[in-house]
Amino acid sequence: MSTLRVRVLALLLTAIAAAPAAAAPFVPQRDDVVLERLPEKGDPALAQLKRMRAALAGDPRNVELAVSVARRALDAARMLGDPRFLGQAQAALAPWWTGDDVPASAWLLRATVKQTQHDFAGSLRDLDALLAADPSLAQARLTRATVLTVVGRYADARRDCAALAGRASAIVVIGCEATPASLSGQSAAAYDALLQALAYRGGDAGVREWALTLAAEIAERLGDLDAAERHFRDARALDPRDAYLKGAYADFLLDRGRARDVLTLLRDDARNDSLLLRLALAEQRLPEDRHAFAAHRDELAARFDAAHRRGDSMHRREEARFRLAIEGDAKTALALARDNWTVQREPADLRILIEAARAAGEIR
């Protein structure tokens, strides 16, 4: 389940997105200068991932090991928001990255990585082929339902969710159905079904955190802000490092005018482009944080400029928001938002499209 949440992370195979592309290389003058603290130093799970990658390097066609490495790397990307782990996931799957003669486990993960790259058409091709060969693959069907929802094909997504009955737990089936149903005029019914599923305690903590996040988002759209905040807090109690959850909760707080709470939430998340954007939006509203805001504004501009030079267009929604809210460039923001809308059609995509169009004077 956790890999389905990795939606808005850049995929960098050889470079850190945070490095300004035009900057001169930094050459340390002493051997004891700390360039970066690697996250695995303080995390046993990441240290184990590093050991697994080393083992895979010596046996790169070991599909079981490759799948384990890719899955662990995707989990790390979800929790830390560090795009380098997505590069590790793709690298692990390199022997099976093209073609159709691929083990099902590697094929599913290939589709999931493509999803994170916003290659939704490529992801759907892989998932369609997998399910044509074996319609009983519940994880593939759930992943396809997620991708179909992102691109706005709600009826198709709901058919996949319905087909999960008997192949996945009740909370997974209900959670799968909740978002496309709530975006198809059935928000109240979808929310009530989620609450009933969540009333049963126990089960997998990751699945429960996912369902609570969905409940928070739907409650917010329904206007029940107290319930939305309660669900966000309950979800964070289960997984405080989930980058998608942090971003959704930060947006909720920004909309409530609670910029100071956003700083507390995201102060240590500057590696993640999406979370850094929200941090900068909060700092922009706090005069006492103007110096931090200026630094983060410049950092974001450098990251987006570097993405353009790489030909990376995955962060169009985030860049549109940056150009509009931070730089005040409504024309550029609208162009980005329109391009983004051709690729993905979630509520946040529609919101930035409308806001940019209004700011550019194209609608009232």
Tell me what pLDDT residue 18 has. Answer: 32
Q: How far is CA 156 from CA 66, 152, 238, 245, 361, in A?
A: 31, 9, 31, 25, 35
356-359: long-range contacts at Cβ-Cβ below 8 A with a sequence spacing of 24 or more?
356/320, 356/324, 356/330, 359/324, 359/330, 359/333, 359/334
What DSSP string runs through 140-186? HHHHHHHHHHHTT-HHHHHHHHHHTBTTB-HHHHHHHHHHHHHTTT-
Any bridge partners for residue 165, and if so which? 168
Tell me what pLDDT residue 203 has. Answer: 86
Categorise residue 168: left if φ over 0, alpha if ψ from -120 to 50, beta otherwise: beta
Tell me what pLDDT residue 125 has. Answer: 97
Q: Which DSSP letter does residue 119 get? A: -
**Residue ranges, the chain, pLDDT below 70:** 1-42, 81
Task: Tell me which amino acid residue 218 is.
Answer: I
pLDDT tens readout for residues 16-70: 233 333 334 445 555 444 444 555 555 788 899 999 999 999 999 999 999 999 9
CA-CA distance, 10 to 313, in Å (whole number)? Answer: 9
211 three-state secondary structure: helix
CA angle 322, 184, 156 (to 5 degrees): 95
**Residue whose entry in the numeric block shows the structure tokens 């396809």:** 144
Closest CA to 87 of 14, 8, 195, 4: 14
CA-CA distance, 158 to 281, in Å (whole number)? Answer: 35
Q: How many CB atoms lie within 10 A of CB 27?
A: 6
**Both structure tokens of 278:** 């929200």
CA-CA distance, 44 to 265, in Å (whole number)? Answer: 24
CA-CA distance, 284 to 138, in Å (whole number)? Answer: 44
Tell me what pLDDT residue 40 has. Answer: 58
- Domains belonging to the chain, first-starting first, are 169-256 (1.25.40)
Tell me what pLDDT residue 16 has. Answer: 23
Tell me what pLDDT residue 29 has. Answer: 56
